[in-house]
């Protein structure tokens, strides 16, 4: 373990700068914060670059024997910091004073030769993207594909909404047309979710064992070029006066309805 | 129409102070912002206290003939403001420069003698509460009950997430035990959503025609005293490694599954 108490320390400067997307992309590292996310990362187990925390926070972490076994406390990768440095690094209102730096390791291509997938076509809201990854994990999907125009998943808000689900299933950043080509090569049907009453109600649809479901941008829906390639258009019926559903809620209803876990 | 260009004008000071919960409660008024919400309010139609906007924004609003008919442009309740006042009143990143002040008119008691209801037991996140009201509207529920410990729906973030659904169905603020007593008197069963694998899977449950479904606080779930009074405990199966679902997503899956709109 090492101890750092200065904001001017190069490691602290580096960790703080990981709050910026441009710097994350350059360094291919990102930061997570809080006990729950760090516990999930340790259980994954991911090779981390740094674990930083106040004395109290580090003590609390290793008080869990399951986690203590995964940590070598003598490692210089574990850094004790003081309260004001924890405040300086935090991106939350009430910090838990514990942080981890991890390598970005996001697949850019993937061979979709089995399974159930969720494809996000240009989603813009960090909370929606994180929540959809978390729901895909809960509903037993094999992974999530984000188009390059979707929000960056290493953003602190996406990380908080994912609740560690990125350690349970792959979140692939790939051009949607390339993903669809791979799905079609493997005879996995592509379903799209539309706000269109003429599409098939998802509650009347018998889903195949393997498929990919595409969810569109909050304002503009699924891209026309993706709809053209779809094997099935699906719709969530709206019986009240609301014009639409929130994208994360719509994705959750679709994901659960299509797998019908009992 | 009147024209105001000073921050020190008493009406502007009043409108701006409505951003504070305490002042909203005292005045029994609240503020909404943006074309979509204001259009929904005008269509409701709600008696508004003030409609404020820049010249461009007011022109754009009345360019919709359906709305122009609902507005008396000679009324002193319509106030033209300049760009800097619009910026001063805005609670969004990019303001649409149009605002409306409405009376708070939230039922505090209700007789639940028919229908399908959603009860929110102490929900804390404004986005979750707003999104659940929007989903209840979409799925054709009769209304939403918020416990007094749930977040204030006149908060700007709740208003944005509701997308105007508060103009389509009642959002009642009532003690949950009183609501449950009224439901039981009317033989309407109370269902509770639990994160408990021993409860009944909602995907295996044949819901009655009328019911109330209770969704619990993000961290603590449904209160023990409410669970005790439940007619049915329900569970959304989790097959992956996620520990739980986001509260708004869970509520959406439940609400749609229980009504099975085709």
CA A29 to CA B76: how far, in whole Å?
A: 57
Q: Band of the pLDDT at B24, cuts 50, 70, 90? A: very high
Tokens 């020190």 label which residue? B8
CA A202 to CA A194: how far, in whole Å?
A: 10
Q: How many residues does chain A have?
A: 262
Which CATH superfamily includes the segment(s) A2-103?
A: Ribosomal protein L30/S12 (3.30.1330.30)
The pLDDT tens digits of the residues spanning B85-127 come to 999 999 988 899 999 999 998 888 888 999 999 999 999 999 9
Would you call B204 and A262 a contact, using CB atoms and an 8 Å cutoff? yes
Q: Band of the pLDDT at B228, cuts 50, 70, 90? A: very high
The pLDDT tens digits of the residues spanning A220-260 come to 999 999 999 999 999 999 999 999 999 999 999 999 999 97
Question: Rounded to 5 degrees, what are φ and ψ at A224?
Answer: -55, -40
Would you call A262 and B137 a contact, using CB atoms and an 8 Å cutoff? no
Which of the residues B125, B205, B249, B255 would you substitute to probe the A interface, choosing the one with the greatest number of A C-beta atoms within 10 Å? B249
- Arithmetic mean of pLDDT, B154-167: 93
CA B102 to CA B41: how far, in whole Å?
A: 9
CB B194, CB B227: distance < 8 Å: yes
- pLDDT surpasses 70 at B13: yes
Interface of B with A in 156-195 (CB under 8 A): 161, 163, 165, 168-169
Domain ranges, ordered by start, for chain A: 2-103, 116-259
Interface of B with A in 202-231 (CB under 8 A): 203-204
Residues on chain A touching B158 (C-beta within 8 angstroms): none
CATH number 3.40.1280.10 given to A116-259: yes
CB atoms within 10 A of CB B111: 9
The strand ranges marked E within chain A are 2-4, 29-33, 50-53, 78-81, 98-103, 116-121, 143-146, 171-173, 190-193, 200-201, 211-216, 232-235
Name the stretches of chain A with pLDDT < 50.
none
pLDDT at res. A107 = 83
- pLDDT surpasses 90 at B38: yes
Strand partners, B191: B213, B232
Nearest to B86 by CA among B58, B121, B107: B58
pLDDT at res. B261 = 62
pLDDT at res. B106 = 84
pLDDT at res. A262 = 54
The pLDDT tens digits of the residues spanning B41-65 come to 998 877 899 999 999 999 999 998 8
pLDDT at res. B262 = 54
Would you call B244 and A138 a contact, using CB atoms and an 8 Å cutoff? yes
pLDDT at res. A150 = 86
Which of the residues B253, B254, B255, B259 would you substitute to probe the A interface, choosing the one with the greatest number of A C-beta atoms within 10 Å? B253
CA A212 to CA A230: how far, in whole Å?
A: 10
């Amino acid at each position: 373990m090492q101890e750092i108490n200065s904001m001017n320390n190069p490691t602290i400067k580096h960790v703080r700068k990981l709050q910026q997307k441009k710097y994350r992309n350059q360094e291919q590292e990102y930061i997570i914060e809080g006990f729950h996310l760090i516990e999930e990362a340790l259980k994954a187990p991911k090779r981390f670059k740094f674990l930083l925390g106040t004395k109290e926070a580090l003590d609390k972490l290793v008080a869990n024997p399951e986690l203590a076994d995964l940590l070598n406390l003598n490692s210089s990768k574990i850094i004790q910091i003081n309260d004001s440095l924890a405040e300086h690094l935090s991106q939350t209102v009430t910090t838990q004073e514990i942080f981890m730096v991890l390598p970005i390791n996001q697949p850019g291509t993937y061979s979709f030769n089995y399974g159930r997938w969720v494809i996000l076509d240009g989603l813009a809201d960090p909370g929606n993207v994180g929540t959809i990854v978390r729901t895909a994990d809960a509903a037993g999907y094999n992974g999530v594909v984000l188009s390059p125009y979707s929000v960056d998943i290493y953003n602190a808000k996406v990380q908080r909404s994912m609740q560690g689900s990125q350690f349970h299933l792959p979140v692939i950043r790939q051009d949607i047309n390339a993903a669809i080509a791979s799905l079609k090569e493997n005879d996995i049907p592509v379903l799209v979710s539309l706000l269109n009453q003429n599409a098939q109600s998802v509650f009347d649809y018998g889903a195949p064992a393997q498929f990919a479901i595409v969810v569109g941008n909050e304002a503009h829906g699924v891209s026309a070029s993706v709809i053209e390639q779809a094997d099935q258009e699906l719709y969530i019926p709206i019986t009240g006066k609301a014009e639409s559903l929130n994208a994360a809620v719509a994705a959750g209803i679709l994901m659960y309805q299509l797998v019908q876990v009992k």
